[in-house]
Chains A and B, each alone.
Chain A
Amino acid sequence: MCALCGVFSDGPHWTEAGTDAGRSTAAPSGRERHLERARRLALLNRVLGLYGCAADDWAGAHYMVQRRSGGATEMASDLPTLWAALESLTGQAPDPLDPALVARLEGGPAERGAL
């Protein structure tokens, strides 16, 4: 547990752990993990932007999710909790099968306005 914020942490989520739960020789190094996290945030923000939200990194361990217009900030320790945070902020369940979302992702950056 983090002594500062009291958030429990029990190892990285599967999306961040490399393969074999980060225990194989394929486990990423600290630097690779950092770069991967930055890239994940960049990709995430393209999706979150469609919901009028954005995420930022907090101490390399959590995501801070907020509406672009400001207001409350939700903390998320991994991707599953981030989607729950987004749902809490927007009041709608983010659905990757939503045809409107998929159409915007397919349309390229110019057509990627908020849903």
Chain B
Amino acid sequence: MAAYAKLTPVIVVTGFLGSGKTTLLNRMLRHPSLADAAVLVNEFGAVGLDHFLVEAMDENTVLLESGCLCCTIRGDLKDSILALNSRRARGEIPPYRQLIVETTGLADPAPILFTLSADTVLKHHYRLGSVITTVDGVNGLSQLDRHPESVKQATVADRIVLTKSDIAEAATLERLRARLARLNGSAELIVAVNGQVDVPRLLRADVYDPRTKGAEVRRWLAAEAKKDAAEAGAGHAHAHDVSRHDEHIRSFTLSFEGALDWTAFGIWLTMLLHSHGERVLRVKGILNVAGIEAPVVVNGVQHVVHPPIHLAAWPGEDRRSHIVFIVDDLAQVDIERSLAAFNRLAAEAA
């Protein structure tokens, strides 16, 4: 079996209808660092993709017995990737080293991420690279208001590309930025101007790439800290609109002094995801694990937790554990108190 870092990384490009996914993809594919990428799209749209290997997939889904929507195997994605894999193995297509999956505008990205990490065959050949979400600078606010898929797409993102910034009003863009920061403060926000986007910045870090994972974790934490400082400065004075369905979705960071017990953490997180998985939209962080010198990085989307990874060294002087949560109507204080209680249980047992 290949080492995890040697699996083919999959970059997921998602975003609501008309938010500029295909335009962004075309821009990305011109960059030399994606010359060895294969692309899977849900349909061949009006805008063609100028690339050597673009395949379309037929949408069909397989709902697992649990009936949980986020733990759904996307049969279309699985079959399409497996077909590409076979053709690559037989030498029928160039040996691509990266795979880009473009979702439909109405797709919930969680099943796509689940398929990549849970399918028995796929997980031995592919790994999640990063999730890039396009958000429409003009219509993004109303889409977040009205479409839960749009909110999900923003919360799972590692990078958010704000499109159409050149035709959007400055005040609208500012409100949209604040809204996205509240939903997913740890995602890097990249502004596309006149369709131009800084592609190397978009692709530069990947939490599972050994060369960049430390930098990516540093960036998560810095972005969350910046958001927290901005919220503290504003004194949470922004008006709350209870009609917005994402009103209760927010991100926050828990920081723990001292080491966390890995066994207790696993018991706690699996129990939390069992009972509240659909409300824990994202959990990711860097852990100071008792008995292990190097930090451990965890990364999960709803019920799906990706394989934890070791960093070679701490990314800075700070040795505390920091865990970023994006939750729907769960209280920060309850989560913090619960994890501390489980960790204390482990200390008693030591």
- Listed in ascending order, the chain A residues whose CB lies under 8 Å from chain B are 10, 14-17, 19-21, 23-24, 26, 36, 39-40, 42-44, 46-47, 78-80, 82-84, 87, 93-97, 99, 102, 105-106, 108-109
Contacts and interface: CB of A to CB of B under 8 A. Distances in A.
Given A40-B263, A40-B267, A10 B274 contact: no
Contacts of A15: 263, 266-267, 269-270
A77 to B, nearest CB: 12
Interface of B: 1, 3-5, 120, 263-264, 266-276, 292, 294, 296, 303, 305-310, 330, 334-335, 337-338, 341-342, 344-346, 348-349
Contacts of A39: 263, 349
Contacts of A96: 268, 271-272, 275, 338, 342
Interface of B is mostly: helix
A94 B344 contact: no
Given A20-B4, A21-B4, A40-B267, A83 B345 contact: no
Contact of A21 (B266, B307, B338, B341): B307
B165 to A, nearest CB: 38
A97 B341 CA distance: 10
A105 to B, nearest CB: 4
A19 B274 contact: no
A43 B348 CA distance: 10
B310 A20 contact: yes
Contacts of A87: 274
A79 B267 contact: yes
Nearest to B306: A14
A47 B305 CA distance: 22
